[in-house]
Amino acid sequence: MVSTPYAPNGLFERIEHELEETCVYKRIFLDHTYGIDRIYTKEEIDKAKQSPSFEREYNLKYLGKIGNIFHTKDIDAALERSQTVVTPNRMSPHSMGIDPGWGSSPFGIVITQWTDDQIHVFICRRV
Report pLDDT for 66: 55
d(CA 106, CA 103): 7
Contact 91, 120 (CB under 8 A): no
Which pTM value belongs to this model? 0.46
Angstrom CA distances, 36 to 11, 42, 44, 62, stand at: 28, 6, 9, 22
Cα separation, 47 vs 34, whole angstroms: 17
Nearest alpha-carbon partner for 126 in 104, 108, 99, 103 = 108
How confident is the model at residue 85, as a pLDDT?
Answer: 73
Please tell me the distance from the alpha carbon of residue 76 to that of residue 111, in angstroms, as a whole number.
20
- pLDDT < 50: residue spans in the chain: none
Q: 49 with 31: CB under 8 angstroms?
A: no
Looking at residue 1, what is its pLDDT? Answer: 64
Q: Give the domain ranges of the chain.
A: 1-68, 70-127
Distances, alpha carbon 100 to alpha carbons 49, 69, 97, 110, 127, in Å? 33, 18, 10, 12, 9
